[in-house]
Amino acid sequence: MTKPFKILGVQQIAIGGEDKARLRKLWIELLGFEYKSTFVSERENVDEDICTIGSGAHEIEVDLMQAVDMDKKPAVHQTPLNHIGLWVDDLPKAVEWLSANGLRFAPGGIRKGAAGHDITFVHPKANAQFPISGEGVLIELVQAPPDVISVLRK
């Protein structure tokens, strides 16, 4: 089966918790990840710190997330390993092809993500219309920038 896109590598891992300060203590202070920025979205019920390790095309994000409102959905703190993000070389083609082949995407379509890249999410659960899913795992597909594509496409 020929695909019109290629998954290039891991872009991010998102960790959820009730107290972002406790996550920062581990990932930044103890493990040495570098804090980059904070992204808050009431619509997505998330307050996240974007941290990284590595550089260039080999940089990987670890997003430390807590809910803006613990009583609202999505409950980013209730699944400690919230989602993984994968670099993709052509996000629109990937979404079109994967949808046509039965993969279910979460609502919201392609949009700007916290780090400024275009993103979309593979739904963790299948349904009758789309019988393929993340099988319990939320997967974020992230449009890779040209420099990442040139290094990782090999």
What is the value of pTM for the model shown?
A: 0.84
Q: Which of 78, 74, 80 is nearest to 106 (CA)?
A: 74
Residue 120 belongs to what H/E stretch?
A: strand 118-122
pLDDT for 136 equals 87
Q: Could you state, in order of their start, the residue ranges of all structural domains in the chain? A: 7-152
Structure tokens at 86: 């994968």
pLDDT tens per residue across span 9-19: 999 999 999 99
pLDDT tens per residue across span 40-61: 999 999 999 999 999 999 999 9
CATH superfamily for 7-152 is 2,3-Dihydroxybiphenyl 1,2-Dioxygenase, domain 1 (3.10.180.10)
Q: For residue 132, which phi and psi values (nearest 5 degrees)?
A: -115, 140
